[in-house]
């Protein structure tokens, strides 16, 4: 659905002239012309009446093809990502699958190494089965030119920040190389959200999100979205969206659109909280290293300043804890405000151990080559009070490291006995 038809032209104002917060609230939210309802009703009907064969009463025929709530949501995302079009899917993984499905058998993809575990699973176990092969790079900015196979490489896939090591990629640099070869660049912007980063402005062709995370923001919707400007991509991906049928329900679209309206508020608070927690971790003697793009110590801090709104680091961070995997597991069990759970981007704070959870399906040697060690903990900072999150982090850290040391000492004593 196009951003230009987003229903936000009150008082004759062009939606694109509005600032983010105003767009988040109003884009894709026309007042109901019949009732005057300020918030759109949930349109649950799967089918729509026709006045004669092939002539629907309104714009809709069948909900798999299009639905008022999905249209509204897609229009809002398109506006916030500075895109001409956006298409919603039933999950972030369905979004990835549809984009890869658009490639012909024999196509080649270049991807960053430290991608979300589900993306890695699709690339290595599903895409390869229908003839699309992926080459992973730990440093795509340096390697992309050498990894491109003329005539075969059709797509470059970037996560920035990457999941879970929070590495950044200079989108414009990679896009410049890819575009010289006529290759499409996809950026997974899930960790940052449209509020913090707009990849299309930096040369990407498609930006994708797991809407489940920051865009919805309340851990109660499973959805994905892709936004782009190309008319040819619109035709190709809309066909696949309908043909594959991996579309979200009207209710999920309505919920996600409601969540999107507060994205800017949540993203700012999550960033503030993550910054405070990251600094506390960086100062702790129990921590090996901290991955957070908002810290001056981050190796890609200059990219964050260039690509992110006001250099924001976002709400995600990860760190390596002293004491190995056991300490990492214990840390997540000892937190009281942070919940041990997969996913991210909700109003509640979460923590997990990627090597044992979200990235467990990736072989250990490949995980560690991408920086995903057994002692790595990933944290999603929500919108609770920052001081409570800091205190919770430090107490869990202290207890986890001490307990792991005691276990280690106990096992050594038993071994010597």
> What DSSP letter does each residue of 284-311 carry, written as one string?
-TTEEEEE-TTSTTSTTHHHHHHHSGGG
Quote the CA–CA distance of 31 and 233 in Å, as a whole number.
30
- Classified as helix, coil or strand, 215 is coil
299 pLDDT higher than 60: yes
252 pLDDT above the threshold of 60: yes
pLDDT score, position 398: 98
Reply yes or no on whether the pLDDT at 181 is more than 80.
Answer: yes
Angle at 300 between CA 296 and CA 303, to 5 degrees: 100
296 catalytically annotated: no
- % of the chain surpassing 90 pLDDT: 91
What pLDDT does 8 receive? 47
> Which CATH code of 3.90.1150.10, 3.30.465.10, 3.40.50.300, 3.40.50.1820 fits the domain covering 263-416?
3.90.1150.10
Query: Could you tell me what percent of the chain has a pLDDT over 70?
Result: 94
Instruction: Dump pLDDT digits (tens) for 350-367.
Output: 999 999 999 999 999 999
Concatenating the DSSP letter of every residue in 145-190 gives HHH--TTTEEEEEEESS-TTT-----HHHHHHHHHHTT-EEEEE-T
The model's pLDDT over 206-233, given as tens digits with 9 standing for 90+, comes to 999 999 999 999 999 999 999 999 999 9
Calculate mean pLDDT across residues 164-174: 98
**Residue 116 designated active-site:** yes
Flag whether pLDDT at 410 surpasses 80: no
**CATH 3.90.1150.10 segments of the chain:** 263-416
* Coil, strand or helix at 210: strand
Q: Which of 79, 80, 346 is nearest to 194 (CA)?
A: 80
Q: Is the peptide bond before 306 cis (omega within 30 degrees of 0)?
A: no
Domain 3-260 has CATH 3.40.640.10: yes
Whether 208 contacts 96, CB under 8 Å:
yes
Residue 86 predicted with pLDDT over 50: yes
Question: What is the pLDDT at residue 94?
Answer: 98
Of the candidates 84, 154, 213, 320, the residue annotated as catalytic is 213
CATH 3.40.640.10 intervals, the chain: 3-260
* Residue-wise DSSP of 15-74: GGGS-HHHHHHHTT-PPPTTT--SSPPP---SB--EEETTEESSS-SBTTT--HHHHHHH
The residues with which 111 forms a beta bridge, in sequence order, are 136, 157
**For residue 16, pLDDT beyond 60:** no
Work out the number of other CB atoms within 10 angstroms of the CB of residue 232. 8
CB atoms within 10 A of CB 361: 12
Return mean pLDDT, the chain.
95
Residue 309 annotated to the active site: no
Catalytic-role residue among 18, 64, 258, 399: 64
pLDDT band at 2 (very low <50, low <70, confident <90, very high): low
- Strand order of the β-sheet with 316-321 is 287-291, 316-321, 376-380, 350-352, 339-340
How many C-beta atoms lie closer than 10 Å to residue 167's C-beta?
A: 24
Q: Is 247 helix (H, G, I), strand (E, B) or coil?
A: coil
- Bridge-based pairing of strands 153-159 and 133-137 is unpaired
pLDDT of residue 413: 61
Pick the catalytic residue from 71, 170, 188, 375. 188
What confidence tier does 7 reach under pLDDT thresholds 50, 70, 90? Answer: very low
Q: Which two tokens stand for residue 304?
A: 């964050």
Q: Looking at 13-22, 148-157, 372-381, which range is the least confident one? A: 13-22
Q: Give the pLDDT confidence score for residue 415 in this predicted structure.
A: 62
Given the residues 116, 122, 214, 292, the one annotated as active site: 116
Q: Count CB atoms within 10 A of the CB of residue 11.
A: 4
What is the predicted pLDDT for the residue at 172?
A: 99
């Amino acid at each position: 659905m196009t951003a230009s038809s987003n229903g936000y032209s009150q008082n004759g104002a062009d939606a694109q002239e509005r600032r983010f917060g105003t767009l988040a609230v109003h884009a894709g939210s026309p007042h109901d012309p019949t009732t005057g309802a300020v918030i759109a009703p949930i349109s649950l009907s799967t089918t729509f009446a026709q006045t004669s064969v092939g002539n629907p009463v309104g714009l809709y025929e069948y909900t798999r093809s299009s639905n008022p709530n999905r249209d509204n949501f897609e229009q809002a995302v398109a506006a916030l990502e500075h895109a001409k079009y956006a298409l919603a899917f039933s999950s972030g993984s369905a979004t990835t699958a549809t984009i890869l499905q658009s490639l012909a058998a024999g196509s080649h993809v270049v991807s960053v190494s430290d991608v979300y575990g589900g993306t890695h699973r699709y690339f290595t176990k599903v895409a390869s089965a229908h003839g699309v092969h992926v080459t992973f790079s730990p440093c795509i900015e340096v390697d992309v030119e050498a990894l491109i196979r003329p005539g075969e490489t059709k797509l470059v896939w970037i996560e920035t920040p990457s999941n879970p090591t929070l590495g950044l990629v200079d989108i414009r640099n990679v896009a410049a190389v890819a575009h010289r070869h006529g290759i499409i660049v996809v950026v997974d912007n899930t960790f940052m959200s449209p509020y913090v980063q707009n990849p299309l402005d930096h040369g990407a062709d498609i930006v994708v999100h797991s809407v489940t995370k920051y865009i919805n923001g309340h851990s109660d919707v499973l959805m994905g979205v892709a936004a782009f400007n190309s008319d040819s991509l619109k035709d190709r991906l809309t066909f696949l969206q309908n043909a594959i049928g991996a579309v979200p329900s009207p209710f999920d679209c309505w919920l996600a659109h409601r969540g999107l309206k507060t994205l800017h508020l949540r993203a700012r608070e999550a960033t503030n909280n993550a910054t405070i927690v990251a600094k506390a971790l960086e100062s702790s003697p129990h921590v090996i290293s901290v991955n957070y793009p908002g810290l001056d110590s981050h190796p890609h801090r200059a990219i964050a300043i260039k690509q992110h709104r006001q250099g924001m680091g976002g709400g995600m961070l990860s760190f390596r804890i002293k004491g190995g995997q056991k300490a990492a597991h214990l840390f997540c069990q000892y937190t009281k405000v942070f919940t041990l759970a997969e996913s991210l981007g909700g109003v509640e704070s979460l923590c997990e151990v990627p090597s044992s959870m979200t990235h467990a399906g990736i072989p250990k040697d490949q995980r560690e080559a991408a920086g995903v060690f057994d002692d790595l903990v990933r944290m999603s900072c929500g919108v609770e009070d920052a001081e409570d999150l800091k205190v919770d982090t430090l107490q869990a850290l202290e207890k986890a490291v001490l307990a792991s040391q005691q276990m280690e000492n106990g096992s050594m004593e038993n071994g010597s006995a």
